[in-house]
């Protein structure tokens, strides 16, 4: 199950998982055309796919979605919390509604989905949860106080839940992308883009497929002894 799976990093994750042999369910909030395009690509990759439309900030909808997946497919082995939203603005100008939107979508939604998914995973005594955080959740970024806070919160959520669920053989990890070539970064151009690239040792933006490769790794048995980890996919932009 890949949230925000209709485009960008979510689509790349869904396709990579399908090519690895998974039956994939994508979720999306409202872009019907993008969701249908992704479904077509998934069907070519694996022969079957499903799409569920709901808002991840609705905790009841998160619970219902997980229950539907388990009912129809019999189990849930992998949850990828990718859906997110960013509303940039200096902290003095951030509106309550914009703060709430980002925290509800980027943090409360993943929490609700983890809460719902851990029950069937505990019963089957196996599972992998991969949360998509961000480099700005680790290092901060001017003009993104709410987004950074939500992504930093996701790291804390990842590590806490990893400790809770490890005894049931459920691994919980995060992938922290840097600046990736998607719709969100396509608007960055000119001098701003050049300054951005100068801060990346590999001197380029990442690709959605490179993030997806990290997600598939953490979801697979190749990462069977890894939990509570934050895997950086940022071209060296931020190192600890």
Q: Convert the pLDDT of each residue in 66-77 to its tens digit.
A: 999 999 999 999
Condensed to tens digits (0 to 9), the pLDDT of residues 116-150 reads 999 999 999 999 999 999 999 999 999 999 999 99
Helix (H) or strand (E) holding 218: helix 208-219
Average per-residue pLDDT for the chain = 95
Read off the tokens for 58.
Answer: 């609705």
Catalytic residues: 147
Q: Is the pLDDT of residue 168 over 70?
A: yes
Distance of CA 3 to the CA centre of its chain: 7
Q: Is beta strand 127-132 parallel, antiparallel or unpaired with respect to 170-177?
A: parallel
When pLDDT is averaged across residues 191-212 and rounded to a whole number, the result is 92
Q: Is the pLDDT of residue 47 over 80?
A: no
Q: Return the number of other C-beta atoms located less than 10 Å from residue 201's C-beta.
A: 11
When pLDDT is averaged across residues 57-84 and rounded to a whole number, the result is 97
CA distance 131 to 160: 13
Q: Could you tell me the pTM of the whole model? A: 0.95
Domain 8-233, second-level architecture: 3-Layer(aba) Sandwich (3.40)
CA distance 105 to 87: 12
E strand residue ranges, the chain = 24-28, 49-53, 78-81, 127-132, 170-177, 230-233
The region of weakest confidence among 8-12, 45-49, 63-67 is 45-49
Residue 184's pLDDT band (cuts 50, 70, 90): low
Is residue 24 a contact partner of residue 130, using CB atoms and an 8 Å limit?
Answer: no
Is residue 35 a contact partner of residue 232, using CB atoms and an 8 Å limit?
Answer: no
Q: Please report, for the chain, the start and end positions of each structural domain, with discontinuous segments joined by +.
A: 8-233
Distance of CA 61 to the CA centre of its chain: 18
């Amino acid at each position: 199950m890949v949230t925000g799976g209709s485009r960008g990093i979510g689509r790349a994750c869904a396709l990579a998982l399908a090519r690895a042999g998974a039956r994939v369910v994508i979720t999306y909030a409202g872009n019907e055309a993008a969701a249908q395009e992704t479904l077509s690509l998934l069907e070519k990759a694996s022969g079957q796919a499903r799409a569920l439309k709901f808002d991840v900030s609705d905790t009841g909808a998160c619970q219902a979605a997980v229950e539907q997946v388990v009912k129809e497919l019999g189990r849930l082995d992998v949850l990828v919390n990718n859906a997110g939203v960013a509303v940039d603005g200096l902290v003095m100008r951030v509106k309550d509604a914009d703060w709430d939107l980002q925290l509800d979508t980027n943090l409360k939604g993943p929490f609700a989905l983890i809460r719902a998914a851990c029950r069937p995973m505990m019963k089957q005594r196996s599972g992998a949860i991969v949360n998509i955080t961000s480099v700005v959740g680790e290092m901060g970024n001017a003009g993104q106080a709410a987004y950074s806070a939500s992504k930093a919160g996701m790291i804390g959520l990842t590590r806490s839940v990893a400790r809770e669920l490890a005894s049931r053989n459920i691994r919980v990890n995060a992938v922290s992308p840097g600046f990736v070539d998607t719709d969100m970064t396509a608007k960055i151009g000119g001098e701003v883009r050049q300054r951005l690239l100068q801060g990346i040792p590999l001197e380029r933006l990442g690709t959605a497929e490179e993030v997806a490769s990290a997600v598939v790794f953490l979801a697979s048995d190749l990462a069977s002894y890894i939990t509570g980890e934050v895997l950086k996919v940022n071209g060296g932009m931020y190192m600890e």
